[in-house]
A = this chain, B = another copy of it.
Amino acid sequence: MKINDSTTESNIMEAAKRIFVLKGFEGARMQEIADEAGINKALLHYYFRSKDKLFEAVFIDAFVKFVPTILITLNSNSPLFRKIEVFVDHYIDVLSKNPFIPGFILHELGHNTERLSKIIRTVGLNPDLFVEQVKAEIEAGSINPIDPRDLLVNMLAMCIFPFVGKPILKVVLFKNNEEEYHEFLNRRKIAAAQFIINSIKKR
């Protein structure tokens, strides 16, 4: 495991991550990354041979740091409703601190499917445990029938969409007011979980 000392290499990685995440691969400039890291372009190429290589390093790092730590809550052994509450709360919390990550990952993944999708497989995201848990609840008759994968997609959608959709939501629903948008996000930590649970709860 690599330690994140304050070496030049990790400086570059952090700077590159900020720029790439904000502007995307095509939009980012090596000059800008160099400036952000407080060094010059030549040094970027000394540490990472090319823009492509630097990007790939950054993308893998961002992906691995994010997606699994979030999905890990799915593999806990909490009861389903509690798990949903924790998942939504935790997910929205993490994304609030890194609001541009989901757009970044989804955009780059969508424009480099072949090259980057093997990264996903390498990380090995496994929803099986969650799927089984939901199936068990359905068979036990404690929740309404639903395809477990649909449920998972819904949970992801409810958490991620407010961030990728921010520019349009802010204008259309929140008078372009950053404050109102943030209140919305805070409410959402509870409201979204409630919405999901309400839908599958047997009453």
Q: Which residues of A contact B (CB under 8 A)?
A: 23-24, 26-27, 100, 103, 105-107, 109-111, 113, 117, 120-121, 125, 127, 144, 146-147, 149-150, 152-154, 156-158, 160-162, 164-169, 171-174, 176, 184, 187-188, 191-192, 195-196, 198-200, 203
* Interface SS of A by simple majority: helix
A191 cross-chain contacts in B, Cβ below 8 A: 146-147, 150
Q: How far is the CB of A59 from chain B (nearest CB, A)?
A: 13
Q: How far is the CB of A55 from chain B (nearest CB, A)?
A: 13
A117 touches B195 (CB 8 A): no
Residue from B127, B150, B200 within 8 A of A198 (CB atoms)? B200
A173 touches B127 (CB 8 A): yes
A110 cross-chain contacts in B, Cβ below 8 A: 100, 103, 164, 166-167
A153-B167 contact given A24-B24, A107-B103, A191-B147, CB 8 Å threshold:
no
